[in-house]
């Protein structure tokens, strides 16, 4: 058995009386693409932030690449893990290139290496190299989200955490970014955990779907097997939604032709 890339053991986090995470245990093998789904407030963001040390759990253990994540300083952990935020969060006064190399700069990379890395990353996320000198405001929402992915990949992490990365985009852009990201995941041999509200996106992109409800995992499995294996009515409704939509879409398109 190879070491899981991410191991969570009995993670608990509460805010006052409210349990954001009520004892979550999860192993993510290296190379897996996990979609983390669940209603608003179910603890998805708290779980991602716990993995990269932005939030310290009240109880439980986190291991990243086999090492106790609590033992190392949090900033060291964060440099080994790429994180794509829901709201992108590019610095408006910095150029695209400067935004991308934030972590390499902290790591003290040479200027030439950073310049080469920016070009490589722009190619990787399918952005033209001339956007390097632009300000974030001069890019479309989809292009900015690609920069967010490039920035998260800058220091060559093997683990990527993404919090509803494509949530604010139009459906076409979202679809192409999702497909492109999945290809990158495979090409770079990443381990990815992506939070999404969109069950269709989860089914289409992920190897495994983990469903959170009120801070607990209520379903966990590959997209195809999950529906058959769960008794939880809310999880079933969530999983059946893409199938129902696809069926309705097919009927309407057939009726129209
Ligand atoms: N900083 C905070 N202070 C107080 N409560 C919080 C804080 N962050 C999250 N929570 C609460 O924890 C629960 C889980 O939040 P979150 O992880 O953001 O959920 P999700 O990302 O699934 O929408 C929610 O009830 C939320 O209100
Ligand atoms: Mg959230």
Q: Which ligand is nearest to the CA of 19?
A: 1
Residue 97 lies in a domain: yes
Of 40, 42, 43, the residue with max ligand 1 atoms within 8 A of its CB, to mutate for a pocket test, comes to 43
Residue 1 lies in a domain: no
Contact 192, 210 (CB under 8 A): no
> 22 alpha carbon to ligand 2 midpoint, in Å?
16
Helix or strand or coil: residue 17? coil
The number of the ligand 1 atom at minimal distance from the alpha carbon of 39 is: 22
- What's the structural domain count of the chain? 1
Summarised one tens digit per residue, pLDDT across range 119-163 is 999 998 989 999 999 999 999 988 999 999 999 999 999 999 999
Q: What's the CATH number where 172 sits?
A: 3.40.50.300
> 249 alpha carbon to ligand 2 midpoint, in Å?
29
Which DSSP helix (H) or strand (E) runs through 241? helix 233-256
The number of the ligand 1 atom at minimal distance from the alpha carbon of 195 is: 21
Residue 23 lies in a domain: yes
Helix or strand or coil: residue 206? coil
Q: β-pairing, 33-37 with 191-195?
A: parallel
Residue 11 lies in a domain: yes
Token pair for 168: 């604010």
Taking alpha carbons only, the member of 209, 201, 155 closest to residue 181 is 201
Per-residue pLDDT of the chain (257 residues; tens, 9 = 90+): 578 999 999 999 999 988 999 999 999 999 999 999 998 999 999 999 999 988 999 999 999 988 888 777 777 777 789 999 877 789 999 999 999 999 999 889 999 999 999 999 999 898 999 999 999 999 998 899 999 999 999 999 999 999 998 877 888 888 888 999 999 999 999 999 999 988 888 999 999 999 999 999 999 999 888 877 777 888 888 888 888 888 888 888 888 77
The number of the ligand 1 atom at minimal distance from the alpha carbon of 46 is: 17
Distance (Å, whole) CA 204 – CA 183: 12
Token pair for 59: 């109880």
Model-level pTM greater than 0.85? yes
Taking alpha carbons only, the member of 95, 87, 93, 84 closest to residue 148 is 84
Contact 76, 64 (CB under 8 A): no
Residue 116 lies in a domain: yes
Residues within a 6 A CB radius of ligand 1: 15, 18, 20, 38, 40-46
What is the residue with the minimal CA distance to atom 26 of ligand 1? 41
Residue labelled with tokens 């030439």: 112
Task: Provide the residue range defining the domain that includes 20.
Answer: 6-256
Q: Which ligand is nearest to the CA of 49?
A: 1
Kindly provide the b/e burial profile for residues 31-45, where b requires at least 16 CB atoms within 10 angstroms of the residue's own CB. Answer: ebbbbbbbeeebbbb
> 149 alpha carbon to ligand 2 midpoint, in Å?
18
Q: Which ligand is nearest to the CA of 212?
A: 1
Distance (Å, whole) CA 245 – CA 170: 18
Token pair for 112: 């030439």
Which DSSP helix (H) or strand (E) runs through 21? strand 18-28
Mention every residue, 6+ apart, whose C-beta is less than 8 A from residue 19: 12, 13, 214, 215
Token pair for 173: 């852009």
Distance (Å, whole) CA 4 – CA 80: 15
């Amino acid at each position: 058995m190879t070491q899981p890339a991410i191991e969570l053991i009995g993670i608990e986090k509460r805010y006052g009386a409210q349990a954001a995470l009520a004892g979550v245990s999860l192993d993510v093998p290296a190379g897996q693409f996990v979609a983390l789904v669940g209603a608003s407030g179910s603890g998805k963001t708290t779980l991602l932030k716990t993995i990269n040390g932005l939030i310290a759990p009240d109880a439980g253990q986190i291991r990243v690449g086999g090492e106790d994540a609590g033992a190392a300083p949090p900033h060291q952990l964060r440099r080994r893990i790429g994180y794509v935020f829901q709201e992108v969060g590019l610095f408006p006064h910095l150029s695209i290139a400067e935004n991308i190399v934030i972590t390499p700069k902290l790591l003290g990379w040479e200027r030439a290496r950073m310049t080469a890395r920016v070009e490589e990353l722009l190619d990787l996320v399918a952005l033209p190299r001339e956007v390097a000198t632009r300000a974030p405001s001069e890019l479309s929402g989809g292009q900015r989200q690609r920069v967010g992915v490039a920035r998260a990949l800058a220091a060559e992490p093997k683990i990527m955490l993404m919090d509803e990365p494509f949530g604010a985009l139009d459906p076409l852009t979202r679809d192409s970014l999702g497909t492109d990201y999945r290809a990158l995941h495979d090409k770079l041999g990443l381990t990815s955990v992506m939070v999404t509200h969109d069950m269709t996106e989860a089914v289409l992109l992920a190897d495994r779907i983990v469903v959170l409800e009120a801070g607990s995992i209520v379903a966990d499995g590959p997209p195809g097997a999950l529906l058959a294996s769960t008794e939880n009515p809310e999880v079933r409704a969530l999983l059946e939604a893409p199938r129902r939509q696809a069926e309705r879409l097919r009927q309407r398109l057939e009726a129209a032709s």
